[in-house]
Every structure is written in structure tokens, then in C-alpha cells.
Amino acid sequence: MAVAASDDVKLLGVRPSPYVIRVEMALKLKSVEYEFIETDPHNKNELLLQANPVHKKIPVLIHGNRPICESLVIVQYIDDFWGDGPSILPSDPYQRAKARFWATYVDDKLLPLFKELKEVKEKGAGKAIIEKMTEKLALLEEAFVSSCGKEKGFFGGDDVSYVDIVLGCYLGWMRAIEILMDVKFFDETSTPGLLAWAERLCSDSIVKDVIPSTQKLVDLARVKASSE
């Protein structure tokens, strides 16, 4: 049975998972109402196991009675299904390809380093990882500046779109790690474009509410570290 725009939308997830944030950003951009169903990924309930039997992971979007899994698949589904809202992927094929290219770059090149970094327990030990991340971010800075300049806009132009979502879901955690490990991911010298972009994204009226507060994440990480 086909689904209709009016069918219920449920999001299974937990805050502040970056992959869940991606889906929430996309739903906000399209002004889709949804019910957030808190779903513990470490203690999987029946609904999660039924909705995502292959990976048994969050996020899952349930639209009507149809589950959709994997954050980027969900974001593209939202863009396809609610096609008349603001576009998440540009309509021009070449611009779409560029957005997909940089989204893949973030997921394949940057996020594995980010995951490694979260496992580092001492401030000094992450230096080599940070250096690699800085190299990767420098290329992203070039792409960002060449497409919209340092001073304004987002990856796809004037509005938040695909690459902003894919990278932006990590902003809260990146800022928290900056404090916890006394490092800098974005700065005035090497990544002025991304530094200003991050500010704009975190104060964007549509998505700012789903980006978790840096202080909350810092507190969460400290509680977790002290309980290990």
C-alpha cells in the first residue's frame, strides 16, 4: 500500500546521535511533523528489530507503515517524498553530483577519523588524528569557499542543504571535542569559511534546535568518562 504525505511519521532514535540529527534536520527543512520515539540502540526493542531487521540500528523513519533505514537513505527519501518543500539536493544533475561527492567525502574520509578520535582517552594522544582531520578539512574548506565564498551561505547556496546536513550533524560533537581535548577543528587561519559556516548553521532558525548544545555534550562525555 502506498503512503500519503498525511500518514504518520515516526522517527526511532536517540539524541544526540549525529545520524539521528541528520534525519531531524531534513524533517525540519521540509516542515514535516513527526513523532520522536526514544529508542535505546544498546537495548534494542521489538519495534526497532522489526523496523530494521538487517542492521538493527537507529535512525529508522517509519512513514505510514513503511520503515526506511540508514541516515543518508532517509534524508534522500525525505527529499524525494516531500518534493515540493525546499530542496535538500539541488535539481541540477551536476550540482547534485557535487553535493553527493562531498557528502561521500565527509562520510568516507572525515568520519572514520572522527570515530577514532572519540576513542582517544588522553588529550595528547589524538594529535596525529587531528593533523589528518585538519588536512581533510582543508580540502573541504576549498570546496566550500569556491562554491560560495567565505562570508555567506551554505554548501549548496543560500539555504541549508545536503552537505550542510551531512557534516553539520557532527558540529555539536566537534565543538565538544574542541573543549574536551583542547584542539581546534575550524579556525580563522586555515578554515575561515567553515568557521563562519558553522556559526551560521548553529544559528539557522530552521535547524538550530536539533543541534545539541556543546555544553550538554561536554557534560555527557565527562559523565561517561567518569563511569568507565
Among 14, 36, 56, 96, binds its own copies (CB under 8 A): 96
CA atoms 73, 213, 111, 222: torsion sign = negative
Spatial CA neighbour of 21 closest among 217, 157, 193: 217
Please give the single-letter amino acid code of residue 51: A
Q: Which is nearer to its own copies, 8 or 92 (CB)?
A: 92
Q: In the complex with its own copies, which residue's Cβ is closer, 100 or 184?
A: 100
Q: Does 72 bind its own copies (CB under 8 A)?
A: yes
The CA-based angle 102-86-144, given to 5 degrees, is 30
Name the packing angle between helices 18-29 and 171-181 (round to 10°). Answer: 140
Cell representation of residue 41: 540502540
Tell me the site size for its own copies, rule CB under 8 A. 25
Distance CA 169, CA 78 (A): 16
The region of 33-41, 73-81, 111-119, 178-186 touching its own copies under the rule CB under 8 A is 73-81
- Looking at beta carbons only, is 97 or 128 nearer to its own copies? 97
Interface map 138-167 toward its own copies (x if CB under 8 A): -x----------------------------
Please calculate the CA angle 24-155-33 and round it to the nearest 5 degrees: 20
Name the residue nearer to its own copies (CB basis): 162 or 177. 162
Q: What's the min distance (Å) between Cβ of 86 and its own copies?
A: 16
Q: Does 77 bind its own copies (CB under 8 A)?
A: yes
User: By CB under 8 A, is residue 76 in contact with its own copies?
Assistant: yes
CA angle 27, 33, 38 (to 5 degrees): 80
Q: Contact with its own copies (CB under 8 A): which of 97, 138, 179, 225?
A: 97
Residue 88: how many other CB atoms lie within 10 Å: 24
Site membership for its own copies, residue 184 (CB under 8 A): no
Task: Give Cβ neighbours of residue 46 (< 8 Å, ≥ 6 apart).
Answer: none
Residues that bind its own copies (CB under 8 A): 2-3, 54, 63, 66, 68-70, 72-74, 76-77, 80-81, 92-94, 96-97, 100-101, 104-105, 139
